[in-house]
Amino acid sequence: MRTFNVNVNGTTYQVQVEEISGAAPKAAPAPAAAPAAAPAGKGENINAPMPGNILDVRVSNGQAVKSGTILMILEAMKMENEIIAPCDGTVSNLSVQKGSTVSSGQLLCTIA
């Protein structure tokens, strides 16, 4: 056994690891893929920058938008964050609605 001190977010933990001699190291199993919220369409995917709640959706599927258009309002940590269109295009694959709870990185919509 080997003993290590591991620091996680400022807290130190003492861990013991068993050393196995003579055995080839085994590859760690691949992590399971996270389920997609909705299939991505062609174009620019707009993902949630942080977890939170959708307070308002200001666009609909098929709506033409210009770069800088406010697509929706995401509330996170009691702050309202505007989700803005990064490019001109047409909204497709709108995968959230008002009141939805989203995770960081979750697909919100696609602009084609």
Per-residue model confidence as pLDDT tens digits over 40-96: 446 899 999 999 999 999 999 999 999 999 999 999 988 999 999 999 999 988 999
Q: Find how far residue 3's CA is from the centre of its chain.
A: 36
The pTM (predicted TM-score) of the whole model is 0.61
**What dihedral angle (degrees, nearest 10) is formed by the CA atoms of 77, 102, 106, 66?**
-80
d(CA 80, CA 53): 9
Q: Which domains does the chain have, with CATH numbers?
A: 44-111 (2.40.50.100)
Closest by CA position to 68, among listed 49, 48, 88, 50 = 88
Q: How are beta strands 64-65 and 52-57 bridged, if at all?
A: unpaired
How many alpha carbons lie under 13 Å from residue 4 in its C-beta half-sphere? Answer: 8
The predicted model gives 19-40 an average pLDDT of 54
